[in-house]
Amino acid sequence: MRTVMTVEHSNTENTTALRIYYCGREQCAPGHFWGPAIRPHYLLHVVLHGKGEFFYQEKKYELSAGDAFLIEPMQTHYYQADKEEPWEYAWVGFDGSCVEEVLSSTIFQSSPVFTTDSALCIQPMIRLNALFFAPEKNPLGLASAFLRLLSCMTRLDTSGRNDHNEQYYQQALEYISNNYSYNLKIQDIADYIGVDRTYLYKIFMREAQISPKQYLLQYRIRAAAKLLQTQNYNVTEIAYSCGFRDSAAFCYHFRQQIGMTPRQYREKIRSGTY
């Protein structure tokens, strides 16, 4: 069964730095194709499941889940779902005065396809679609999600597993730094970067020699220590601000990591003996 999400269009002037015309998602029927045709703007697809072929500038690319392909304005293209494992993909149509500069930092500077053995860009594309079809549009959130998607497609050598590990690791660190104050679970981090929890554990052991759980705890303790160096917040406020559910748990972990209680640490900072 074929399903297509509703499409929206923008009438913004051509001078706009970034315009997102529409997003969509489709589970294609076996052998379903589009083209040959042209588009008046950029169109980026991410394969969510299954397989298919993309024909562009007299070349054929065989793509599967996690891969992406970019169609440039006024360029003839054709793509077709596999007859045995037809793909499901999501897409975004866009244009604007800053697009060429933005794309210059991605793999699309030199290739119309992004191929990988991972699901690196699937979740960002799903997130972008969700924001686009949200009842209340948030232009800044939409632009941020779009750039987040493109950031997954930087000009790395995607043939090497180590490159993936480094990219996953950096994304995990960024996610932790932005979300450590919440009730963050390791599974949340794995879901965000598109890998399973076991693989995430292996990445952290390789890159940091500690588990993701240990890294998150240490990050929270470091953040708490910075707050303790001021006199603006009490221990309970700092505990909740750094992701701990209560001050008792915070004090326990702080002492395990630092060797003293939060209050003792604050006193030593105040007296200049630490």
Distance CA 172, CA 216 (A): 10
pLDDT in tens, 212-239: 999 999 999 999 999 999 878 899 999 9
pLDDT of residue 87: 96
Give yes or no for a contact between 120 and 167, defined as CB atoms under 8 angstroms apart: yes
Give yes or no for a contact between 101 and 21, defined as CB atoms under 8 angstroms apart: no
- What CATH code is carried by the domain that includes residue 220? 1.10.10.60
Same domain for 240 and 123? no
Distance CA 219, CA 222 (A): 5
Same domain for 110 and 225? no
pLDDT in tens, 145-187: 999 899 888 754 444 445 567 888 888 999 999 999 999 999 9
Domain assignment present for residue 36? The answer is yes
Residues 6+ apart with CB under 8 A from 213: 186
Same domain for 146 and 220? no
Same domain for 7 and 111? yes
- What CATH code is carried by the domain that includes residue 134? 2.60.120.280
Domain assignment present for residue 99? The answer is yes
Same domain for 132 and 9? yes
**Domains of the chain: total:** 2
Domain assignment present for residue 38? The answer is yes
Same domain for 143 and 235? no
pLDDT by residue for the chain (274 residues), tens only, comes to 333 333 333 444 444 788 899 999 999 999 999 989 998 999 999 999 999 999 998 899 999 999 999 999 999 999 999 999 999 999 999 998 889 988 988 889 888 999 876 677 898 999 999 999 988 878 888 888 999 899 888 754 444 445 567 888 888 999 999 999 999 999 989 888 877 888 899 999 999 999 999 999 999 999 999 999 987 889 999 999 999 988 999 999 999 999 999 999 998 888 887 7
Domain assignment present for residue 175? The answer is no
Same domain for 139 and 70? yes
Same domain for 150 and 236? no
Domain assignment present for residue 78? The answer is yes
Domain assignment present for residue 179? The answer is no
Q: Give the domain-ending residue among 133, 156, 179.
A: 156
Domain assignment present for residue 261? The answer is yes
The candidate with the shortest Cα–Cα distance to 48, out of 84, 81, 76, is: 81
Same domain for 9 and 134? yes
* Full-model pTM: 0.56
Same domain for 242 and 147? no
Same domain for 123 and 11? yes
Distance CA 51, CA 65 (A): 7
Q: Give the domain-ending residue among 156, 178, 199.
A: 156
Q: Give the domain-ending residue among 105, 134, 156.
A: 156
Same domain for 147 and 21? yes
Give yes or no for a contact between 119 and 47, defined as CB atoms under 8 angstroms apart: no
Domain assignment present for residue 204? The answer is no
Q: What residues make up the domain containing 228?
A: 215-271
